[in-house]
Chain A
Amino acid sequence: MAPFSIYSFLGLGVPIIAVIYYAFQSEQGKPTLSNIALVTHGSYLLGFENSIVLALITSIVPGILGLILAYAIATSRSATLKRLVATASGVLANFGGINLTFMFIATLGSTGILTAWLSAIHLNPWNFGFNLYSFYGVALVYLYFQVPLMVLVITPALGGLRPSWREAAENMGASSWGYWRYVGVPVLMPSVLGGMLLLFGSGFAAYATAETLTAGTVTLAPIQIGSLLAGNQLAGQENVGYAVGLGMFVVLAVTMILYGLVRRRASKWLR
């Protein structure tokens, strides 16, 4: 317990304390609320809004897709397929950043290989309004690691659905719809919501993929922090960056509290 507490304090506690400390400090080192006031208006507020919308899209869509995929795998009779998907999900859920961006650019970029193939059959997506380097392009790339992450998170909950519940419901006269409506969905709902909240946190905080894909043209809070702390565009505003970081911390803290609450309910049912 003690080593974990020390690790948590050094890895989480110290950075959070530092972020809070600098967020309320001016460039001259004096206490101030101006950084907080600044990041709750204008482009910084837009950054938060975009990040939250991106996180919502990349939690709900992959959440549903991941749930469907995990259910298909959980009900499959092939143990090999189950092992394969579990392993692949573990790898792909952690495959983000520059490598992933390059992979998408090489595939679906304006001169990507898939784009070229689709052009050959007159289905070039770029001609239909698609833009990989836009807000929705970022959302598409996030699907790549968010769907496997959902599979990883929701698979144990699906495994906790006992076949005998379904048989008991059927025995009581329930149709498949009746079972899912009154038993399956309510039992799974806390886990699904918990998984989606986790995806929300993951999508909200992701930085490298969005930064390398859009080169900062899409206003997102993590990218703004990167610019402010690097000082290559807005020198001398590092403490504003800390204030944006504090805002992100608050959003993620709320997400984590909600996640903890729904997980607690799910684990109680599936005990």
Chain B
Amino acid sequence: MTELVDATRTTGAAPAGARVSLEGLVRTYGTTRALDGFSLAIEPGEFVALLGPSGCGKTTALRVLAGFERLDSGRVTVDGRDVSKISAQHRDMGMVFQSYSLFPNMNALNNVAFGLRMRRQHATQRRQKAGELLELVGLSDQASKYPHQMSGGQQQRIALARALAIEPRVLLLDEPLSALDAKVRAELRDQIRQLQQRLAITTVFVTHDQEEALSMADRVCVMSAGRAEQTATPAALYSRPTTSFVAEFVGVSSRVPVEPVDGSVVLFGERCRIRASDTGLPNGPLDALLRPEDVAITLDETAKPFVTHKSFLGATTRVIAQVDGVAVRVDVRSDVAADIELGARVRVSVVSRDVLVAERSVTNPVSPQ
């Protein structure tokens, strides 16, 4: 990866990120509510990822912010100014699209310079600045190439340079890595994050890939059914999910039926505290939601649980143990897992001090995740 050059030198004055606020956004398509009162406040220079399954409304939220979608109700403010009624043309937000969307009739340099041309900058100035931005993304040697002559990763870096050229105060990234292969994706992920931190641009990143969201963002907003389920730092989101949806969508969780006893539950014969949840304690039968690292197993020929699956993940191996008909996923050090055969009897125990509980689910799929 080409070393990044000093952003303040390449882009003139470093643009300060804007404070962005999405307040009670509602957007409906026919009978479908794509956004159902979605709210999110983003600090200047912050990198926020919108994460969620297909149809959760994350792309709609980004498009509303960009000005490509009208709102049924709610408002979007940038540094306190209501921009809900302002067209995308005048919002001064840079956007990188999933499908690159470079203009096919322009070479890389002219693509990057397009926004400057629309701002009537002098040809010499815009060529110079576009050249600097190509250098910033490590593609100065590709300036004369047309999009069809470049790889997907190169095109997306050109698209990033094009979005940055207008010195946006808000950068919008709509699944920019999803069309790339794994190696390029990892490289570009790092480059986007470094650039964002260096330029201090407020950035909103839409993805359905939790690994991307957790590794890049300052905060992650998990969305479901057009609403924000939880907005928190990646670490908090993973370790302290406040809803069962977040617990199951982010990371891997096993559902184990439990019975509540005085604010705690009995799990594998041990008493565990119930973790505080935004939604409170559900009524009726409960499931404990367990991360693979929250559980431990030890070989024990006298125990009833037994191993049904093993998946090598590198340093750790994910083992699935069948406990009273319920699949429990456990991460075990790979050198230890090597001694655990399929069908081996194991003792299962909880290593975390508290557990998240949710209303009991009907199914407990056994899949080697």
Contacts and interface: CB of A to CB of B under 8 A. Distances in A.
26 contacts: A164-B99, A167-B88, A167-B95, A168-B95, A168-B97, A168-B101, A168-B159, A168-B162, A169-B118, A171-B88, A171-B89, A171-B91, A171-B95, A173-B89, A173-B92, A173-B115, A173-B118, A173-B119, A173-B166, A175-B89, A182-B106, A183-B106, A186-B105, A187-B104, A268-B146, A269-B146
Contacts of B92: 173
A172 B97 contact: no
Given A182-B103, A269-B148, A169 B114 contact: yes
Contacts of B163: 171
B97 A164 contact: yes
A124 to B, nearest CB: 49
Interface in A132-182: 162, 164-165, 167-175, 178, 182
B68 interface: yes
Contact of A182 (B99, B114, B148, B166): B114
B88 A165 contact: no
A155 B361 CA distance: 51
B94 interface: yes
B66 interface: yes
Interface centre among A170, A187, A270, A271 (most CB of B within 10 A): A170
B93 interface: yes
Contacts, number: 72
Contact of B97 (A167, A186, A187): A167
Interface of B: 66-68, 87-95, 97, 99, 101-106, 114-115, 117-119, 146, 148, 159, 162-163, 166
Interface of A: 162, 164-165, 167-175, 178, 182-183, 186-187, 268-271
B103 A168 contact: yes
A174 B106 CA distance: 15
A200 B106 CA distance: 29
Nearest to A173: B118
Nearest to A270: B104
Contact of A271 (B88, B93, B148): B148
Nearest to A168: B101
Contacts of A172: 114-115, 118, 162, 166
A269 B114 contact: no
Given A171-B88, A174-B89, A269-B148, A183 B103 contact: yes
A169 to B, nearest CB: 7
Nearest to B89: A170
Contacts of B93: 171
Contact of A269 (B67, B89, B104, B162): B104
Q: Is the interface of A mostly helix, strand, loop or mixed?
A: helix
Nearest to B119: A173
A175 to B, nearest CB: 6
B99 A162 contact: yes
Contacts of B91: 171
Nearest to B99: A164
Contact of B105 (A167, A168, A174, A269): A269
Q: Which of B105, B114, B148, B159 has the most CB of A within 10 A?
A: B105
B90 A173 contact: yes
Nearest to A269: B104
Given A171-B94, A173-B92, A271-B148, 9 more contacts: A164-B99, A165-B103, A168-B95, A168-B97, A168-B103, A170-B68, A171-B88, A269-B104, A269-B105
B216 to A, nearest CB: 21
B101 A165 contact: yes
In the A-B complex, the 10 residue pairs with the closest CB atoms: A172-B115, A173-B118, A164-B101, A269-B104, A186-B105, A168-B101, A171-B95, A170-B88, A174-B118, A183-B103
A186 to B, nearest CB: 4
B103 A167 contact: no
Given A173-B89, A175-B89, A271-B148, A167 B101 contact: yes
A167 B97 CA distance: 9
Nearest to B91: A171
A268 B114 contact: no
Contacts of B159: 168
B290 to A, nearest CB: 42
A182 B111 CA distance: 11
Contacts of A162: 99, 101
Nearest to A164: B101
Nearest to A187: B105
A175 B115 CA distance: 11
Contacts of A174: 89, 114, 118
Nearest to A190: B105
Contacts of B68: 167, 170
Nearest to B94: A171
Contacts of A164: 97, 99, 101
Contacts of B117: 182
Max count, chain B CB within 10 A of own CB: residue among A169, A171, A182, A186: A171
Contacts of A168: 95, 97, 101-103, 159, 162
B78 to A, nearest CB: 15
Contacts of B67: 170
Contact of A171 (B66, B102, B103, B119): B66
B288 to A, nearest CB: 44
A171 B103 CA distance: 13
Contacts of B162: 168, 172
Contacts of A182: 103, 106, 114, 117
A169 B118 CA distance: 9
Contacts of B103: 165, 168-169, 182-183, 187
A170 B159 CA distance: 14
Nearest to B68: A167
Nearest to B162: A172
B97 A268 contact: no
A175 B114 CA distance: 12
